Amino acid sequence: MKVFKFGGASVKDANGVRNVATVLNSQGTDACLLVVSAMGKTTNALENAISLYFNKGDYHTAANAVAKNHLDTARELFEGDAAILQELQAILIDLLDFLKKNKSPDYSYVYDQVVSTGELLSSKIVSEYLNSCGYSNKWLDAREFIKTDGLYREGTVNWETTVDNIRRLDKDENYVTQGFIGSDNNNFTTTLGREGSDYSAAIFAYGLDADALTIWKDVPGVMTGDPRKFSEVQLLDTISYEEAIEMAYFGASVIHPKTLQPLQKKNIPFYVKSFLEPEQPGTKVSSTAGSSKLPSFILKENQHLAHISTRDFSFIAEEHISQIFNVLAKHKIKVSLMQNTAISLALCLEDKYGNLEEFNKELSAEFKIDLRGGVSLFTVRNVEQNEINRYCADRQILLEQISRNTVQMVIE
């Protein structure tokens, strides 16, 4: 069985949904599970609705804009078919009912119940359209299969229960389901972290012992750099799991960091291909591929640089580092780069959940903390030492770290 994942850019409008059928026709349509993200910028729009909801703003208008976009897409695809429109409207009514009745002040809980609407809507549209084209499939609610703990916005997968659930599926059938979402033991919706649909696809591939997982992107495959940010980038035809994991860790946006581990465990081949050119080979990630020797460039934006030192100018000792990292973990702040001297610790941080201010407050009694936002982490891999200066030129470097074949710079 194959697993295909289609991201938001691939299903952003009616033409995108039509193209999913085109891709399937080019690849063969037997025994395939499709994992679908929310359409286009739907998640961003729902995040805005949540913000308005907590700030006593007009969240109804924001939610209704999401509703209109999906209903208009459905009308274009199905020429006013009443059944699918009623299904979509029922999902949207559930969303507004939840916001009306909710009493919880927990932002993360509300976030997961609301943003999951995007995947439910898009997957319903894709499933129904494919059925109308003769691609017979069953729609699945991913929340009935992927079970997590109660950590909202970044649920930890209960692998044993999840795999048991997925193994109940018939491997000779076709399915359409959602990325990004699961549920906890109380059946409340959880999410797997922003951009977590790739991870969902890997979870289903693992549970199904899939022949392969293909992620369909708007780029030809894994490149040596984001073509929207760097010139003269090249396609990597094949790379190893280890190389892909390193690239994802450093911030390569084409691969979600959690996607690769479950695939590697079962040696499931992983392809990254273009939904615009489905006949092209793309990139294959596997255990047999060697590591690329081509220089690759990764720009991780929206970072923060923290310089932390003790208030009495004593050494930054192990107990200090332990204390700092415990507070980072508590506030779900990711460390992208660290460097320490005798009396200070420099950290490049990713604050996905907006908790940096709380982190600063909690540590400032014992530590002096200098925070600087709006920085980026620029990583160059497989670079020769004599070429490093070429990549550092004309950049304001705030922090630099060089290893055997990698240079990293925190830049403005």
Q: Could you list the residues known to form a binding site, using ranges.
A: 5-8, 43, 119, 228
The binding site for ATP comprises: 5-8, 228
- Tokens 């927990």 belong to 106
In the chain, how long is the greatest CA-to-CA distance? 72
DSSP structure string for 198-257: HHHHHHHHHHHT-SEEEEEESSSSSBSS-TTT-SS--B-SEEEHHHHHHHHHHT-TTS-T
CA-CA distance, 393 to 337, in Å (whole number)?
Answer: 21
CA-CA distance, 270 to 214, in Å (whole number)?
Answer: 6
What is the token pair recorded at 403?
A: 């290893």
Query: Are the CB atoms for 207 and 158 separated by under 8 Å?
Result: no
CA-CA distance, 208 to 201, in Å (whole number)?
Answer: 11
* Number of C-beta neighbours around residue 334 at 10 A: 15
Range list of β-strands (E), 101-149: 138-139
Query: Are the CB atoms for 2 and 33 separated by under 8 Å?
Result: yes
The binding site for substrate comprises: 43, 119
- Tokens 């009495």 belong to 312
Q: Across-strand partners of 381?
A: 296, 406
CA-CA distance, 159 to 197, in Å (whole number)?
Answer: 16
Query: Are the CB atoms for 4 and 216 separated by under 8 Å?
Result: yes
At residue 324, what are phi and psi to the nearest 5 degrees? -65, -45
CA-CA distance, 314 to 342, in Å (whole number)?
Answer: 8
In angstroms, the first-to-last Cα distance of the chain is 46
Q: How far is CA 144 from CA 83, 188, 230, 248, 256, in A?
A: 23, 11, 41, 29, 23
CA-CA distance, 367 to 377, in Å (whole number)?
Answer: 24
